[in-house]
Amino acid sequence: MSLTETLTALNQKELALADVVASLWKRIEEREPEIHAFIRLADPEALMRREEALSSQPLRGLPIAIKDNLTTVDLPTTCGSKSLSGFRPPFDATCVTRLKAAGAQVQGKTNLDEFAMGSSTEHSAFGSTRNPCDPDRVPGGSSGGSAAAVAAGEALAALGTDTGGSVRQPAALCGIVGLRPTYGRVSRWGLVAFASSLDTVGVLARTVRDAALVLSIIAGHDPKDATSLPLPPHDYTENLETKDLQDLKIGLPREYVPPGLSPAARGLVDRWCQALQELGAEVVEISLPLTEYALPAYYLVSSAEASANLARYDGVRYGLRVPGELMAEMMAATRTAGFGREVKRRIMLGTFALSAGYYDQYYGKAQRVRTLIAREFEAAFQEVDLILGPTSPTPAFRLGEKADPLSMYLSDVFTLPSALAGLPAISIPGGEVEGLPFGLQLIAPRLGEEKLLRAAYALEAALSA
């Protein structure tokens, strides 16, 4: 059952919270040894005991899975890294606080690529997560644990984070819905920083309605976050039922259907366009020529910000500490032992890009390209309402298949441009390629979540019919 269906059953007294928790934990016992979606779980008996206290709240005590880079007082927050092993934060992230205020409970902390740096959830100090659709394949990343938990039926919904595609890409590879809101729509307070100008809290769910429901709860202004937009809360489930899309013009960038896309994937793109046209929307070809520059710009900007943000893990204040005779030796030993290879790679890349003599040549130039990409989207949205394309160029790849970092980074080629521009986007199941889920992505203008969700909801129904 979806989150919405479960709530309906609880409200009509067809189910009790204890039934839901027992069902989820039975599924966890069946699938978790193979999938490894969670790093740690809450006590199910404790969740059941709070039914009476939370039964009057909107989410009625239902458990929601939380990515392990969002702080929680109930459970340790480790970001999938040895450097934070066992760290228990003194406060909840704002998005977690809002879920609790609505009557949700923290089900557990899901696995991720260390500090959210990766596209496969293979770069975790706690082991890899596997794709529930095919355990020999990756679930995507970095929110692979959240995506796998929802796809495997172990969780009703989950929070993830999307820096360059880390909610949408795993949703696509696992065959579920992944929503990235506009940057600033959801507070980043309590999100352990990777790249502060890009990090966005998002939702992974089984349906578009479920994603809209969770967004309605966690969105809104937060004075504790300087990047939080001064916008009031809003119910994003209100206008989902409007299935007629006659007022929408959808752009399909030719760059999102490159020559290397498989014939099966191209066939699905044609099917999506046909479905939109049958719903009354107009589909036109557009061009976003700066798409090819998004990947190098993103990895320079995000790695530079990661280099600065991860400087705090020095063995002095919290987390892992490896002894050394001198402070410099202790810090070097701590960071060497605490960080994995991918994190070290990005720290070194970012530090180089920020170094004297190279700042303007690399980081400064990447920021200028980022501005041009944002302007290109603004110009495109003068002509169309939404932009359509695949979420990822391929379905889920095999564990260990992409050992070369560049080939791994290319799996986010369609999600990076909109992330650089801070735009809202959603991935929904778009069919299958090679018997595996293949995601459909819709991108909206800044603050265009209502239009985005309405189109995604209609397409979801049309493609599943």
- Residues serving a catalytic function are 67, 142, 166
**N-to-C CA span, the chain:** 18
Cα-flanking dihedrals φ and ψ of residue 362, to 5°?
A: -115, -70
CB neighbours of 45 closer than 8 A, spacing ≥ 6?
none
Scanning 250-290, the segments in alpha helix (DSSP H) are 263-278
What is the rounded distance in angstroms from the CA atom of residue 380 to the CA atom of residue 386?
Answer: 9
**Calpha distance 384→291 (Å, rounded):** 17
Q: How many whole angstroms separate alpha carbon 41 and alpha carbon 128?
A: 17
Residues 6+ away with beta carbon under 8 Å from 416: 164, 165, 294, 295, 298
- Contact indicator for 187, 225 with CB cutoff of 8 Å: yes
Alpha carbons 78 and 451: distance in angstroms, whole number:
36
Cis peptide before 83 (omega within 30 of 0): no
* CA distances to 106, 255, 306, 344, 441 from 311, in Å: 29, 37, 8, 12, 35
Question: Which whole-number Å values give the CA distances from 403 to 119, 120, 153, 341, in the listed order?
Answer: 12, 11, 29, 12
